[in-house]
Structure 1
Amino acid sequence: MPPPRKKRKAPAPAPPPPRRPPSPSRLEFRSPADGAWYEARVAVQGGALRVMYELFTEEQDEWYDPRAAAAAPLDAAALRARFRAPSTPLDDARCRDLRPGDPLCVACALAGGVELKFFDAVLESVRTAPALLLLPPAGCSSRETPAKTQVSPAAHETVDGEERCACRFSVRWAEGPLAGAMAEVGVEQVCCVRSTTPVRDPVLAEFLDSVLSKSPGDDGEGNATAASRSSGAVAP
């Protein structure tokens, strides 16, 4: 009887491509693929803008090349609107500063809770341990409402000398697959939007200015006309 044939070992799978290490990011970018916000950095390489997502592989970088968009010119204004200063996680001790109507960037559980993506939302109310705090009455500005009526310190606790927020925040999704729906989230899911105005980044500004100066609808002196500024292939 011949000896039993030895089974060959299956070749080891190729290791996944390394993820880009984190860096002090200065930008937040809203991906056109899913509408979620990601920390990113930018560089201009070969005349194209490269958007590099933090903690993702290089294969997932996005490129914006105005020379490759002859049929649909690159919309510099729409692309600029996809960038902003990074949102900051809500500190447990600073939840008292929030007011109904404040813009937030909130983690949304997708794919059965397997992945979290951040989408814009608007704060509707804050529920502390004792009760639910609703929007101020009609005719009363939320900014005029005393801070003590927004969040009660009784809803917090101290763990290892640090204040921990136990509040629940009622938000309305402004973007993403649940846009328009309500959700109740904890402090660990909430980030504060620092500014809704276009971010000022020298690399991004230089690239977008060059796109505008070379737009097909310019006036012959490098100044883009209103028509060329409003056209383009970048989704709003």
Structure 2
Amino acid sequence: MSEPGQSPALTEYKTEFRSYPDDAWYSVRLVGDGEGEKLTVKYYNFSDHHDNVFEAKTFKSLQDLADFMRRFRNLSAQVQDSECSKVVEGKLVCASHSFDDNDNRFYDAIIEAVKYNEHSFTNGEEECRCKFLICWQHGPNRGNLEQKNVENICIVDCSENVDPALSSFLKRATEEIQAASRRISNLTDRIKQDEDVGGVNRHYIVLIDNLEKELSSSTIVEFVRREISIASEACVFPSLSTESYTRGAILLKSEKDSQLLYGFLDNPNHIIVSSNGKPWVIMEKISGPETIRTSLCTSLLKSQVSFSYLNTDELKVVHSGSEEFRTAKGLKDLFMEFAEHQKLLHVRLVTEERKILQS
């Protein structure tokens, strides 16, 4: 905040900065590096140890930069006793809050009401006795009302801050964000092109539920090849002895094949069932780099290649309108109802666990 009779040192501190740690406004001096790459914020009456150094390349978006820019403004001026008439209801001010005798910090507030009192004069000095009811806009008392005297009030300067160091820094940061955006766009285009020609090892996975526990991965692979003529990998996950079904995954290397498989599995006009009539239920469709395949079921794939046997009669497609389809549809709906009930039980389990841990 500025005061009359400023010392030469204070006149260099022409800007206010809203600090990140405590959200309070401080009188600061801005120092650039000449290139706009770095901006140093130096606080009045604080040692260099408290300086903040910002780098233009650290901002991720124009929104982040705009939020940063709004933390700077021209120095607010403390209201003098003879100027209290400038402080009216609805006006934005910057007011001081005392944490203790040696710790006063400034936060924005709105004037809610003013009680004008007659001024006193002692030895020619005017003293304002008016009272100002403010509503804090941020800081530790945000939303609270508090009464202040004129010496606690500063008028906010809403004119544009034209500090050259800040202007240079904002320009450079904007250029960095735009350049990064172009790099990301180019990288995205290149990845898409690479995927189209198979240049990136990306895998697409469809997770299947309600499989027969005896089903082999090779049977799934051959079934997919026979029905829609695409190459795939598959794995069948272990299950509990108390479960009457198991889960599995089908892995593909192209988005095109993934869409073809998903369309086949999710076709409302037919259902894939086991020889015992158990219908497949799609759990989820995910995609990721080669590591997703490795983390999901590489060990299962290796083990199931050795011990699986091929029997494509274990799986078949039943079509809408048939008795088999109606039966499969009823079983599928029943399983989905069961799965939804499991989800609710999981939510309840997490809730009850949290209660026990917090007790």
Interval of TM-score (by shorter of Structure 1 and Structure 2):
0.5 to 0.7
TM-superposed deviation, 1:109: 1.3
Q: Distance in 1 between matches of 2:147 and 2:12?
A: 30
Q: Distance in 2 between matches of 1:64 and 1:208?
A: 11
Aligned equivalent of 1:164, options 119, 127, 135: 127
> What are the superposed Cα offsets for residues 89-144 of structure 1, whole Å, 9 maximum, x if unpaired?
0011111122200000000112x454110000000111234xxxxxxxxxxxxxxx
Residue identity in the other structure for 1:78: D
Quote the residue 2:156 is aligned against. Answer: 193
Quote the residue 2:282 is aligned against. Answer: none
Quote the residue 1:138 is aligned against. Answer: none
> What are the superposed Cα offsets for residues 143-199 of structure 1, whole Å, 9 maximum, x if unpaired?
xxxxxxxxxxxx20112212110111100000101000000011111101121x542
**Within 5 A, what are the aligned runs for 1:7-22?**
22=10
Quote the residue 1:9 is aligned against. Answer: none
Quote the residue 2:74 is aligned against. Answer: 85
Q: Distance in 2 between matches of 1:185 and 1:162?
A: 20
Contact 1:83 1:198 in 2 (8 A): no
Q: Distance in 2 between matches of 1:62 and 1:24?
A: 17
Residue identity in the other structure for 1:54: Y
Residue identity in the other structure for 1:53: Y
**TM-score, length-scaled by structure 2:** 0.45
Contact 2:56 2:172 in 1 (8 A): no
**Is structure 2 residue 194 aligned with structure 1 residue 205?**
no
Aligned equivalent of 1:121, options 109, 129, 132: 109
Quote the residue 1:24 is aligned against. Answer: 12
Residue identity in the other structure for 1:183: E
Q: Distance in 1 between matches of 2:76 and 2:135?
A: 18
Pick which of 176-185 and 38-47 moved more. 38-47
Q: Determine helix, strand or coil for the equivalent of 2:10.
A: coil
Q: Distance in 1 between matches of 2:176 and 2:12?
A: 32
Quote the residue 2:30 is aligned against. Answer: 42
TM-superposed deviation, 1:24: 3.1
Quote the residue 1:63 is aligned against. Answer: 53
Q: Determine helix, strand or coil for the equivalent of 2:173.
A: helix
Structure 1: unaligned runs, 5 residues or longer: 1-20, 130-154, 221-236
Based on CA coordinates, which of the two structures has the bigger radius of gyration?
A: 2
Q: Distance in 2 between matches of 1:183 and 1:175?
A: 13
Q: Distance in 2 between matches of 1:62 and 1:119?
A: 19
Q: Distance in 1 between matches of 2:28 and 2:79?
A: 20
Q: Distance in 2 between matches of 1:90 and 1:98?
A: 8
> What RMSD in Å do the two structures reach over aligned CA positions?
2.1
Structure 1 residues 204 and 160, CA gap change in structure 2 (3 angstroms): same
Overall identity of the aligned pairs, in % = 29
**Is structure 2 residue 68 aligned with structure 1 residue 106?**
no
More helix by share: 2
Contact 1:81 1:198 in 2 (8 A): no
Quote the residue 1:183 is aligned against. Answer: 146
Quote the residue 1:214 is aligned against. Answer: 176
TM-superposed deviation, 1:27: 0.5
